[in-house]
């Protein structure tokens, strides 16, 4: 196999790993965040507006990590600079 094939193989394997890990870890984090937010919503329903807003902003922050992984994975698959 020539080098470009090896690069393609490595890219595909790395893409799978990137998406797998990059979905798993932010999912755990988001799960924790939502669980805590639900608990505090149940304790203080009056503060629901603040809690929900902070939750959304925080979730977007956490989700950014997953989005980074997605962008890297898509770059590796469809716009790989090494395979030109």
Q: Where on the chain is the footprint of another protein (CB under 8 A)?
A: 49-50, 53, 56-57, 60, 63-64, 67-68, 70-71, 74, 78-79
Nearer to another protein, 40 or 54 (CB): 54
CB 21 within 8 A of CB 69: yes
Minimum distance of another protein from residue 65's CB (angstroms) = 10
Minimum distance of another protein from residue 44's CB (angstroms) = 16
**Phi, psi of 80, deg, nearest 5:** -70, 120
Nearer to another protein, 2 or 19 (CB): 19
CA angle 40, 38, 70 (to 5 degrees): 125
Minimum distance of another protein from residue 75's CB (angstroms) = 8
Specify the residue for token string 């690069």: 7
Q: How far is CA 14 from the centre of its chain?
A: 15
């Amino acid at each position: 196999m020539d080098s470009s094939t090896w690069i393609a193989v490595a890219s595909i394997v790395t893409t799978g790993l990137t998406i797998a890990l990059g979905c798993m870890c932010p999912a755990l984090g988001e799960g924790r965040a939502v669980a805590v937010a639900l608990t505090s919503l149940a304790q203080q329903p009056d503060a629901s507006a603040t809690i929900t807003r902070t939750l959304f902003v925080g979730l977007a922050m956490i989700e950014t990590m997953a989005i980074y992984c997605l962008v890297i994975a898509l770059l590796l698959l469809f716009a790989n600079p090494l395979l030109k």
